[in-house]
Structure formats: C-alpha cells, structure tokens
Amino acid sequence: MDHNEYAQNHKKNQHLTYGERVVIEVRYNRCHWTANRIANEIGCSANTVRNELNRGMKSVYYGSIKRYDAKLGQQHYEENRLNCHRHYKLMDVMQFINYFIDKFTNEKWSPDACIGYVKKHKIFNDNELVCTKTLYNYIDRCFLMIRNVDLNSKLKRKTKSKLVKKYKRMLGRSIEERSDEIELRKAFGHWELDLVVGSNKDQDKVLMTLIERKTRMYFIYLLSDKRPETIMNVFNDIKKDYGELFDTVFKTITTDNGIEFTNLSDLENEFKTLIYYAHPYSSFEKGSIERHNGILRNFIPKGKRIDDYSLDDISNIELVINSIPRKLLNYSTPEELFDAEVDKIYQIAS
C-alpha cells in the first residue's frame, strides 16, 4: 500500500480520512514515529495527530502495550459525528414560546416585537429566550403551530426599485416641496393619509387611514363612501376634537392624487396645515401608511366586505395595531409615544 498517496491528498481544515488514519497506524506502531513527524507527512497539525492517537488507542498483550488502531479511530470519529449538530433549546424556552404564540395569535405581534418587548421589560431571563433569528428559524422548520404563510409581511417582502412614473395629474403642492425635517421623522405632527376599499368599490363602505410619521400612531375611520365631501366631514370632526391645536397636531398631511382628496387642500384656508401630494403610481413615497394598511389586512383581508365590520370592530383593530411594540420605536408602542407628544402640546398651550 502506498501510504504517501494519502499524505499528499490531505486538505487543510478538513477532517482526517480513513486512509490517513491507516498512515498514522503504520508510522506510529511499526516505525515508531513521533506525532510531529507523522503530522509533517500527512500535512496536518501535530495536535490533530495526538488527538487521533488518543481517540484510537487500544491496549494489547494484557494491557502492557498500547497501539493505535485506524478502524477504532474511524469508528469513534463516526460516532462523534452523529452527535455533532446544533442542539435546539426549544424545550427549555417553552414558557416564552407559549407567550409568543399568545401574543401573535391574539394581538398580532411580530416575532421581533415580542422578543424586543420581553427584553425591554425583563419579563423573562436571557436563558429563557431565543433571539429573533432563532424564532424565525423555528417557524421555518415548522417547530411551532405558526407557519410562514401566517407572516404576511415576510411573504410579500421584496426589494423594489423606486421608479417615479410620468404623471399627468397633480392636485396641489407636490411632495418634492416637502422639507427635509419631515423626511427625518424627528418632528411630531406630520401625517400620511390613504383609503382602504372593500370587495365592492362602488357599493361598500371604505376606511380612511391616517398615520403620524414620528410615533406611527394609526387612526382608522369608517366611511359610508369615498366622496370628497365625506372625507372633509371627517376632518371637520377631527378639528372639533383638537380645536385651536389642530394645526399644531396636524402640521402637514401627505396623500395621493385620488379624486377623493380633491377638497383636502381646503384645510390650508382655515389652518396652517400644509397638504402634499405624492407622485402618481409612487406608493413608496408614503410608505408608513402603506405598511400599516398591510397590517390592517391581517384583520380585514382583501376580498372581504367592509360592511361586515361594525364601528366597534374597527375601533378594536385600531387599538390592537397601536398597542404593538415596534423595534424602530425602541419597543415602545405608538399609543404611548403619541399620548406623550400630545400631552407636551397641551402643557405648552396651557
């Protein structure tokens, strides 16, 4: 047998092969070579050879002599390989897993929102938790009752190029005139506006949605139709709620060029609120409202009639969405941050 053939074929950072173990057996038992010399011939570390000798050593002649056995070394290696894999600690974190399933099922919390909230409020110890990636891995491997199909945002998440199409209609002030301060989301009082329609666009109720860009506070209004007059009636009611502070809470509103928002610029005549219109076919320019309308679809799927949902149902959905902790809010809820901002405004006004 040409043992030098095995020695020349060894690859760095690879496990020893059975042929290389045969070389070790011959050189150690018959030639009495040291571990360093054997390692030089094979092309591996001397410690690798020493560890292999310990793994495959057996006693002969009633224990008076020790020799290396390549077959025994290979057997121990294969046994160790069977146990060489990642050990999931699913059973050790079942209390947290049950907590997550409850929050996901009943309150629509995402995996990251649940983990971040638990860490922030120290509900569980670190050894009772898994990280966000591990929790998603459990879902991928079907370890939980939750499947990827239940994670709507994950399934539809993909990179899109931001392409602004040529447009013909612009109702008012373009979004291009909006200040950089609004883009940074550092100031309170800048909103995005949209409509959510049901299965029958002409004979069904609609939902008007509003979101504050800094706190991500999300409002849902149930409307009988989507006429411009109906939209303005909602804002007239909002003005009554906030009174003279309306233009402080609603500094700007960004929306699209739908005909239902034709009369929206009338707000500028009475208050300091500025209305900006996004480019047509450019929903990414008001991404916050589009993202939250996607969350709303977890409760009211596409194809369902909005007529089937009462005002109480809509109010409960709004409450749940605003009670979900957000990673970008340091795992605070939109409701907490919005209430704090409004309190500041009332304190200054008084």
Q: Give the per-residue pLDDT at 147.
A: 79
Q: What's the sign of the alpha-carbon dihedral 169, 174, 176, 182?
A: negative
Number of domains in the chain: 3
Q: 190 and 316: one domain?
A: yes
The number of CA neighbours under 13 Å toward the Cβ of 269 is: 4
Q: What is the pTM of this model?
A: 0.68
Q: State residue 324's pLDDT score.
A: 93
Residue 163 lies in a domain: no
CB atoms within 10 A of CB 161: 5
Listed residues 66, 82, 98: the one ending a domain: 82
Is 118 found in the same domain as 59?
no
| Dist. CA 36–CA 93, nearest whole Å | 46
Contacts 24+ apart (CB under 8 A), 219-224: 219/318, 220/296, 220/314, 220/315, 220/317, 220/318, 222/306, 222/309, 222/311, 222/314
Q: Are residues 341 and 195 in the same domain?
A: yes
> pLDDT value at position 61?
79
**Domain boundary pick from 32, 56, 82:** 82
Residue 167: band (very low, low, confident or very high) from pLDDT cuts 50, 70, 90: very low
Query: Which structure tokens are listed for 125?
Result: 């110890």
Mean residue pLDDT of the chain comes to 86
The angle that helices 46-56 and 35-42 make with each other, rounded to 10 degrees, is 110
Same domain, 205 and 317: yes
Domain hosting 73: range is: 4-82
Give backbone dihedrals phi and psi of 84, rounded to 5 degrees, phi first.
-95, 85
Tell me if 211 is assigned to some domain: yes
With bands split at pLDDT 50, 70 and 90, how would you rate the model's confidence at 86?
low
In CATH, what number is assigned to the domain containing residue 302? Answer: 3.30.420.10
Please state the rounded mean pLDDT for residues 289-295. Answer: 93
- For residue 206, the model assigns a pLDDT of 93
Residue 8: per-residue pLDDT: 54
